Amino acid sequence: MTGTDGGAGRDRSTPGEGRTDGGAVDDHLRTDGGTGPTSAASSTPSLLGSDVLKIVALMAGIYLLFTGFGVALGYGTNGIVNTLQRVTFLAAVYAMAVLALNLHWGYTGLFNIGVAGFMAVGAYAMMMLTAPPSAPVPGLGLPFWVGAIGGTLAAAIVGGIAALPALRLRADYLAIVTIAFAEIIRFVFRLSALQTFTVFGVRMGTGGARGISGADPDTVLTDLLFSIPIVGSEVVIPIPGTGTGILIPSVLGSISTTLQGMGVVPNVVRGWVYALVLIAVVAGFYWLLTRIGNSPFGRVLKAIREDEDVARALGKDTARFKIKAFMLGCGLMGLVGILWQGSRGFINPTENFLPQVTFFVWIAMIIGGSGSNTGSVLGGALFAALLFEGPRFAVNVVDANVELGSAPSTISAAVADLLGGDVTSMAAYVMGNIDALRFVLVGVILIYLMQNRPDGLLGHRKETAASIDLSRPARTRSRGPTDPEVAADGAGTGAGSDAGPGGDGQ
């Protein structure tokens, strides 16, 4: 019993022990007691190591799978590299969006299903700031950086405006308010009256239903990386007096040359560079959220999630904490909107910011496990690779290797063939309509998870909230060998009653 994980520790805390007081805060602290002999100090880095390992292993598996798809489809090097780039892009943007949402739902317990709306605010603000003044839909013509910062801030501010009144609501009411709010935002950007307008003599616009073009993060960020000495551009160190110099080739340049030598198109290489930038942003989000989660601020958020009344009773101004968390999450969502939906330098309100985008992000989070940052990244990657892109590729592979004949145009023709003993016709119909079926699959998986594994892959895991070592090796060791069961219980209750007040001093 001593070597069990946090999940078992939580099970032991159920009624028998009569712990009715302050469950919220010390629930997180006492899990260390649950993990038994391992000390927190040594377990934290190893946990991080194993988390990175998990993500790397998953991505390796995904790459292997899609390389297999590419080979089976006879893609050649360029095609395979391109496929992997696409999967990496999707995995990264979903991971980002899920991390931002995790701050709302996983940490603070705010049921926000308006993700698409806040992404729209960020992306639109960026486009309107960066669109050239001479474009059909004119903007301010500012550089991308200003647009990106402006978009992030705009999303945070709009989030704050939404949060001020809405956070008083029950979770299910908040859900309805946020999705309605997101739709209102989308309707505003779709308004034909706002297609172009003039503020203080400056012509601007949202482009209405036709959308708006502005700075293209893809190009800007890739160019930036290629302009950094040694990383992206070669450097010549002049040797005095000789008139020549030593040429230091750039890292990206040599990789790019090697890849192009293997037949990869320059555009695909650039796509990969953007994907790498996105991975760096994911790492940044992860670092930020982990820092927040382990900070006193994050502990209050988790306490609010578990029981807001208790957090308030402990003297925390929960409304302020919730608004801050909501604004921060919305700002991050705005940035995700810029880097994801805006990545081609063009957005429109009828395709990019539909409510289903929100639900995809939600499903990815639930797969990974809300409350866990590693789970968020894993969930985003799993959703993007296996549920979003995987079925299409699988079907293409089957299509390329099995002769099924042309698919019937309707399901009744397929059923008629099926009754006539022809199975291939139905199979061809199923494959021809895989785009619809994968969303059926998404729905079924969501139901399955809610019924059987509501905590997702990693959500059940408890992350240590306290920054100090809470385990008590001496006591565990003295009792451990004689009676393991007593030791386990002792560690559980001991940490619960003793560490609780200690850990409260934030």
Partner 1 sequence: MGATESIARGRRLLIERPTAALVALVGVVLLVDLVRRLATGDLTTETLGIFVWRGIVNGLVVGLAGIGLSMTYSILNFANFAHGDYISTGAFAGWASTWVVAGLGRADVGALILVGAGGNVFSSDLGTSITNTPLAIVLGMLVAGAFTVALALAIDRVVYRPMRGEEGISLLIASIGVAFALRYLLVFVFGSAPRSVADTPSDVAVAGVTFWFDWHQLTLVVGSVALMVGVHLLLQGTKLGKSMRAMADNEDLARITGIPTERVIQWTWIIGAGLAGVAGYLLILEAGTIAFNRGWILLLLIFAAVILGGIGSIYGAIAGGLVIGLTDTVSQIWLPSDFTRAAAFLLMILILLYRPEGIFAGRSTA
Q: Mask: binding to partner 1, 135-174, rule CB under 8 A, as x and -?
A: ------------------------------xx-xxxxxx-
* Residue choice 19, 28, 104, 190 for contact with partner 1 (CB under 8 A): 190
Identify which of residues 55 and 169 has a Cβ nearer to partner 1 in the complex: 169
Rounded to the nearest whole angstrom, what is the least distance from the CB of residue 13 to partner 1 in the complex? 19
Written as six digits, the tokens of 139 are 């903007």
CB neighbourhood size of 314 (10 A): 15
Q: Binding residues for partner 1, how many (CB under 8 A)?
A: 49
Identify which of residues 33 and 106 has a Cβ nearer to partner 1 in the complex: 106
Binding of partner 1 at residue 184 (CB under 8 A)? yes
Residue type, 32: D
Considering only the stretches 3-11, 190-198, 224-232, 479-487, report the one whose residues sit in contact with partner 1 under the rule CB under 8 A.
190-198
Q: Give the whole-angstrom CA distance, residue 432 versus residue 421.
A: 20
Written as six digits, the tokens of 500 are 């609780």
Considering only the stretches 86-94, 234-242, 360-368, 488-496, report the one whose residues sit in contact with partner 1 under the rule CB under 8 A.
360-368
Interacting residues with partner 1 between 198 and 217 (CB under 8 A): 209
Q: Give the whole-angstrom CA distance, residue 150 versus residue 127.
A: 10
* Residue choice 92, 115, 158, 366 for contact with partner 1 (CB under 8 A): 366
* Contact present, 116 and 186 (Cβ < 8 Å): yes
Rounded to the nearest whole angstrom, what is the least distance from the CB of residue 327 to partner 1 in the complex? 18
CB neighbourhood size of 316 (10 A): 20
Nearby residues of 274 by Cβ (< 8 Å), 6 or more positions away:
89, 217, 218, 221, 222, 343
Q: Mask: binding to partner 1, 417-456, rule CB under 8 A, as x and -?
A: ----------------x--xx-xx-xxxxxx--xx--x--
Q: Mask: binding to partner 1, 48-87, rule CB under 8 A, as x and -?
A: ----------------------------------------
With CA atoms as reference, report the closest residue to 464 among 33, 4, 23, 1.
Answer: 33
Burial class (CB in 10 A: 0-12, 13-18, 19+), 394: middle
What Cα–Cα distance (Å) separates residue 477 from each residue in 41, 332, 351, 416, 486?
A: 17, 45, 60, 71, 12
Q: Give the whole-angstrom CA distance, residue 478 versus residue 236.
A: 66
Rounded to the nearest whole angstrom, what is the least distance from the CB of residue 153 to partner 1 in the complex? 23
Rounded to the nearest whole angstrom, what is the least distance from the CB of residue 363 to partner 1 in the complex? 8
Residue type, 288: L
Interface residues toward partner 1, by CB under 8 A? 111, 165-166, 168-173, 175-177, 179-181, 183-184, 187-188, 190-193, 209, 359, 362-363, 366, 409-413, 415-416, 433, 436-437, 439-440, 442-447, 450-451, 454
